[in-house]
Structure 1
Amino acid sequence: MRQTEWTGNTRRNGWKARYVAGLGLASRTSNGENSSMATPASRPADGLARRFSRRLRHVFRRLAVRLALVMMVAGLGACSALKSTYEQGDHLAYWWLDRYVDISSDQAPQVRSAIATFFRWHRREQLPAIAALLEQAKGHIQQPMAAQTVRHYQQEAQRLGHLAFRQALPDTAALLVTLTPAQIRHMQERMASDNAKYRRTFLAADEAERIDARMKKVMRYAELMYGDFTAEQERQIRIAVAAVVRTTAERLGLRERRQQAWLALAREVVTERPERSEVVRRLERFDATWREQANQSDSDAGIQLAVQIANLTTPAQRQHAVKRLQGWLDDTQALMRRS
């Protein structure tokens, strides 16, 4: 059941929709991106239940590094966009889930209720933590950046994400047991399409093209935070980006293996129809297994990239970042007051 009224809006403002879907849904990304890379806050899905339960955790892991850059809400072109887009987040999240699963009319009320419940919890329990991280980042962004600082935000991100995962898990299991074989095929086709797009964009045969693609993405968010960069600054950033690009194929391989494991789990649930409590246990095992593998695959290249960008900036660029962070902090606090 497509939500056509939101499709047009999200195509015109795709980065806003993807950010809110990420902020409002608890899950780790499916594309295997290194959490320490400065890349957009949204990724293709591993499937409905996994995206719903783990999206927020991955967003916060990657926001940890963007806080080191500091790009707390990367993808928003203006401070006011955070507040207005978050307020539409339940509708955008539903549209996003429907795109990956093709939600039926019978499932729709359950999905809408679960999303609304999660947003109420997130606004009440996690927006204050986001505000605290933004306040910390305002101080750190004005000082020389160290890898230890980046890892601090990464650990906080993982902690917040795990809490969000636990909060969403019961509703995720309830939805998973209602999926049909046709919906699983729909997810598989969507994953294959997203993987092909990722491969075309970031795994071109020519190494220079691969670096160009990643560099374009990194600089979009670096400029959002710090403003314009000089040619010499970009030359030095490109050297650091090249180190990250070399692990792209490995990350994609991890993504595809995780997707296959997810599809196998979904098929088991559809075939066996176990009790909801058993589905919860299986989701917990899936999460623990793949979270550990993702942690093992993470390298220091992304962290070093974040550190280098921050330490290349001038005092004027850092003041630009402080103003950007303050605007995001103001919007976050305004959202908290409406809870």
Structure 2
Amino acid sequence: MPLLKLGKLARLWRNARRWFAIIGLLSVAATLTGCGAVRLAYNNAPDLSYWWLDGYLDLDSPQSLKLRSDLQALQTWHRKEELPQIADMLKNLQAAAPSNVTGEQVCQLSRYLETRFQTVLDRTTPTALAIAPTLTLAQLDHLARAWDKRNQEWREEWMDGTPQDRLNRRMKSALDRTESFYGRLSDTQKQALRAQLDASAFDAATQYKETMRRQKDILQTLRALKATPSTELQQQAEVRALLLRSTQSPDPAFQQYTERIRSNFCESAAELHNGTSPAQRQKLQQTLQAYEADVRVLMQR
């Protein structure tokens, strides 16, 4: 296979990250460019993940060697242990696709995907424990600047413009994702989707506030590790607590917001699916079947 340019690989990696969302949260997934892109992105995931992280942290040689080795090991484990479970899930979803679903059934799927995601995060904890205390103040400053750039892009996409502008952008994204599974929606279905988005509990300001909290917490904690003498066990305890706060917000208001978002999503996804035609559900089955085939190919490589 010829070498691809870094820019193209980066785009494929973004597709792969979105694909993992697709297989579990149907109506919030992003559009794929094709199964070949999924396979290529997954097989190159260790390198692509390294480049992505290095862009934020500007890693030195020892850190790079550690991260590259751990990412390769993570992919080997994921291919063996997680892909078979994903393939089975996709097969079960195909069987369920022709039938109506309830909001609770969608939430069960969402919780299952969260379990799978948490399993992967737990597997990366030793890498974080090893690398986080070694980050220099210069690297943390580099991370802060990279986050500032990303935050500006996020605000432009989700917070800038009039409420109608923001709703239009969300509608375009949601329509692309939905039609990638079900095929073209009718005008009535599009109107229903737009009404769901308009009534959604999603609040960009709330999301952004939590992002700011997490970034501030990470930078403060890691900078404190450099400023305060501590044992290796104390450092690991600080990093473990930081990882927990970064994945499970300690803010009660945000926890309540997250539950509202989950409930809203589950009901909306069920309503959307139940309003599709037999032909659209057949298209969904075919799409899921293609993803399952991709996963089973990846399991063998």
TM value normalised by structure 2: 0.88
Contact 2:79–2:298 (8 Å) recurs in 1: yes
The answer to whether 1:296 aligns with 2:256 is yes
Aligned-pair distance for 1:6?
Answer: 5.3
Report the CA distance between 1:215 and its aligned residue.
1.1
SS in 2 for 1:289: helix
Q: What root-mean-square deviation, in Å, do the aligned CA atoms of Structure 1 and Structure 2 show? A: 2.2
Kindly state the Cα deviation for residue 135 of structure 1 after the two structures are TM-superposed. Answer: 1.3
Query: Match of 1:143, SS?
Result: coil
Distance 1:9 1:138 in 2: 31
TM-score by length of 1: 0.79
Q: Distance in 2 between matches of 1:230 and 1:273?
A: 63
Indicate how the Cα distance of structure 1 residues 70 and 116 shifts in structure 2: closer, same or farther if over 3 A, else same. same
Match among 10, 17, 20 for residue 13 of structure 2: 17
Contact 2:35 2:294 in 1 (8 A): yes
Deviation at residue 76 of structure 1 after TM alignment? 2.2
Aligned amino acid, residue 213 of structure 2: R
Percent identity of paired positions between Structure 1 and Structure 2: 24
**Structure 1 residue 235: deviation in Å?**
1.0
Alignment CA distance shift 1:157-1:132 (3 Å)? same
Kindly provide the amino acid, as one letter, of the partner of residue 266 in structure 2. Answer: I
What is the CA-CA distance between 1:151 and the residue it aligns to?
1.0
2:120, 2:132 → 1: CA distance?
18
Per-residue deviation, residues 291-331 of structure 1 (Å, max 9, x unmatched): 15454321122223322322222111111111111111011
Moved more, 220-229 or 302-311: 302-311
Do residues 189 (structure 1) and 188 (structure 2) align? no
The C-alpha deviation readout for 1:103-148, integer Å capped at 9, x for no partner, is 2233221111111111111111111111121112112222112111
- The question of whether the paired residues in 2 share the 8 Å contact of 1:64 and 1:150 is answered with no
Contact 1:211 1:245 in 2 (8 A): no
Structure-2 separation of matches of 1:138 and 1:279: 46
Q: Does 1:207 align with 2:163?
A: yes
Contact 1:145 1:311 in 2 (8 A): yes
Choose which of 282, 285, 290 in structure 2 pairs with 1:319. Answer: 282
1:93 aligned to 2:49?
yes
Indicate the SS of the match to 2:24. Answer: helix
Distance, in Å, in 1 between the alignment partners of 2:14 and 2:47 is: 12
The 1:280–1:249 alpha-carbon spacing in structure 2 relative to 1, beyond 3 Å, is same
1:147 aligns with 2:107: no
Give the 3-state SS of the residue equivalent to 1:126 in structure 2: helix
**What corresponds to 1:25 in structure 2?**
none
1:56 paired residue number: none
Residue 109 (1) aligns with residue 75 (2): no
Larger Rg: 2
Cross-structure match for 1:306: 269
- Matched-pair contact (CA < 8 Å) for 2:100–2:273: yes
Unaligned runs of 5+ in 2: none
> Could you say what secondary structure the match of 2:200 adopts?
helix
Cα distance change on mapping 1:118 and 1:111 into 2, 3 Å: same
Q: CA deviation at 1:156?
A: 0.9
1:216-295 equivalence runs, <5 A: 216-244=172-200, 246-272=202-228, 274-290=230-246, 291-293=248-250, 295=255
Assess, with a 3 A threshold, how the Cα gap between structure 1 residues 278 and 245 changes in structure 2: closer, same or farther.
same
Question: 1:170 Cα shift?
Answer: 0.8
SS of equivalent to 1:64 = coil
Q: CA deviation at 1:65?
A: 2.3
1:29-68 correspondence runs (5 A): 40=18, 64-66=24-26
5+ residue gaps, structure 1: 23-39, 42-58
Shift in CA distance, 276/119, structure 1 to aligned 2, threshold 3 Å: farther
Cα offset, 1:228, TM superposition: 1.1
Q: How many residues align?
A: 291
In structure 2, C-alpha distance between the alignment counterparts of 1:166 and 1:306, rounded to whole Å: 29
Higher helix share: 2
